A and B are shown apart, each in its own frame.
Chain A
Amino acid sequence: MKVKFNLFSGLIFGIILSLFSTPILASDDESKSSSGGSYDPVGTVLDHISDKNEFHVWEHVHIPLPCILYAPDHGWSFFMSSKFDHGHKAIDGYVLNHGRVNRIADPEFPQGEVDLHGTHIESKNITTADGKEKTVYSINYHDHEYMIDPPSTVDGGFVGGGITSFYDFSITKNVATMLLAAILLGWLFITVARRYKKNEGKAPSGIQNFIEPFFLFIRDEVTRPMIGEKHYERFQPFIMSLFFFILFCNLMGLIPFFPGGANVTGNLAVTLALAFITFLVVNLSGKKDYWEHIFWMPGIPAWVKIILTPVEILSLFIKPFSLMIRLFANISAGHIIILSLIGLIFLFKDTGQLGGAPTGIIVGGAFTAFMNLIELLVAFLQAFIFAILTASYIGAAVEEHHHEEAH
């Protein structure tokens, strides 16, 4: 009975979500397409799933976010992103490029506040020395072309980033959403914990009823069977935090308007941090048996051990890496599909074929409602998969083998 009710309310939630999302995402895109000529599907989608230094609410309403920037040749800079005037001003050589802070490293560019009206950032594709295509940005100011650097990333050039002339430690849209999710979770769980203290020995009431099934589900289906009766209580808080943090970030990503709308768990840096925490927890709680099974697997011939040991050491890193990629790819793919379906409206409008925009709204809207329902399922499923895989890795790390019996 309880399960049925949950499924039903989930369905209603999904339908309401998709009804809201369709017109609002649409109005958002329309302002872009009317200002920038014909509709560019790839650019719009990538713009929507990327992180920003300001929070877009409505048409021309932006919530400013604090920028914390460090350049080795300039030192620290602190200011609110509203000082950029939506990209019409440069502050100490920093400019806003597609919502992201970039820097003009050229020392000839004037410091302080510089008015950029009448000029705009231009992009062009170049081929680097190792044959890769790359987009670089430049700005024309007083008949001089200045190159613009993106912020440094830690990927070492693997996905097109690398160390540039400055580092961005700002509270971006993603960071703000994560803080909001953390505050929400903190409020929710402190309230519930107080309720448990007050209601000790009595039936749960109010918001307790909402949390208890989740809590029991994580304990009975995830931690207890995966980690084992002996150790599961120690890891219960960690698995619960992972599950609820990922779940809340996923769900907030599905809300298309202000407090949500950030692609938090579809950001490689966020999933990297989550996977790194998992990596630390798993390996720091590893028992003697765990390390023995990695470096010198008992019960097999020596020549197999020589092959197996490097594979096992690699698997130490592949496990969290696959956690990182799985969450990132699933959530990003969902956002891209929804945005592409919304984009159908503007593609229909631009071509004017088959009835134009109204057909696009019917077709795109129906598909978007359907995709939103699937994404609601994926939001729960990916949080569950992250939690259960983490639990199974921890389970393997803390398990005590009995070789004399098992082998």
Chain B
Amino acid sequence: MKNNDVEQVDKEQLIPNQEIENKKSDFDNNTSQNPNETHQQEDTEKKEEKRFLSNKKFKKFDKARYREQKCREWEIKIVNQNMKDDKLGLYIHIPFCDRKCDYCDFVSYSMDENAQHDFQQALFKEIDMYRTQCEKMVFNSIYIGGGTPSVMYEGFIYELARKVYSTFHFEGDIEFTIEVNPNSVTYDKLLEYLRAGVNRVSVGVQCIDSKILKNVGRFQTIENIDNTFDLLKKMGFINTSADVMIGLPNQSLDAVKDTINYLIDKNVKHISVYTLQLEENTPLYKNVKMGKIKPLGDEACIKMYNTVTKMLKENGFIRYEVSNFAIPTYESRHNFKYWKDVDYLGLGVSAHSFLENYRFSNTCRLDEYIDMLNNGQFPIVNKEFIRDSERRTEYIMLSLRLATGLNLEKFRKRFKEDLLKTRAKQIHDLIKNGYLYIEDGFLKIAPQHFYVSNRIILELL
């Protein structure tokens, strides 16, 4: 979306739902130069697949094989698409929540209208400060995360989008994601997002059993979630994502299965599955230490993860990263940038950036963030030049998390190191024991061992 589009969006009036949906489907085909063409192609493919799968002559085994093969094809497609992407991503962190969940150690403050306005002013100042520096840079994704962006006062996201469009350069289609919380989503807000150009919504579902969530200090009901997905459907948001947590205290395997089935039923296109992690300095950590809450054991988590993987695979999802699953073409373009050699700019409290070989991050404190910007300073508190040795570690760590794996040739060129030689023994042992495999010049973690990827990555550093 270019700057001159803003006017147009602005003028858009409320249109019948059906029309929005038609319009939105264009937004979704964000990975190709010619959306219409891809759309048609996709349709024929789908029809063909349907025909194939409904043919009773084929046994279950063949169908599974067919799916497998399709997945491979998609994987290769993804690689090609995302390898080419060299445009920047823009991340904006909204540090507000209704209430912080007990397990959360991300930066967020409780809601307070005044604080939100102060934050807005500071954020806009920060955006202005990057105007010159980013003059020559081209962006193609926006991600508004948090915290809970949907708790911001009405009109905030729209203003923010206008500010962003008028400051940074975008080219081609944009992937514009916003994270929302089922509690704070309203019709008006979604409409505002639509007008702002948002075309991807990530819903913090976590688990559909409200009792389990209540236990870890997250208050949301199935009615909230239902309502959110109903609204999203009505408003024509097709590219939807959901965050799911596994390994929550008292969570049963059935609760996880129910959640996944629910999301499949709601036609969600992208699912991120995170295992609960006990972070120090969180209420949950304290509760566990005091024995009030018993965390789930490793075996239960593994079972959940494997079950989720299997269910999603059966329903056409591809695991393109350790914890991210998507219906092909619905992979998150923005997240890919974190895993690839692509720059991104992070704005807002505690946001992280990677620009021109520097990684830097903003202050974690809202008051400090506002003060620094009021004094005309960048709110940066950490800045580190990423030398090749560090970049190498990052490269291995990030690329192996992806299903597509590590491009050995690219690695060799980039770091003047042939991993197959420098880590010959480790790779040999890992391949021998089935943890790694090499395919078409890519080093990959075997899918069944994704859950221990850290260990495997460690061997290669």
Q: A and B: partners?
A: no
Chain B interface residues (CB < 8 Å from chain A): none
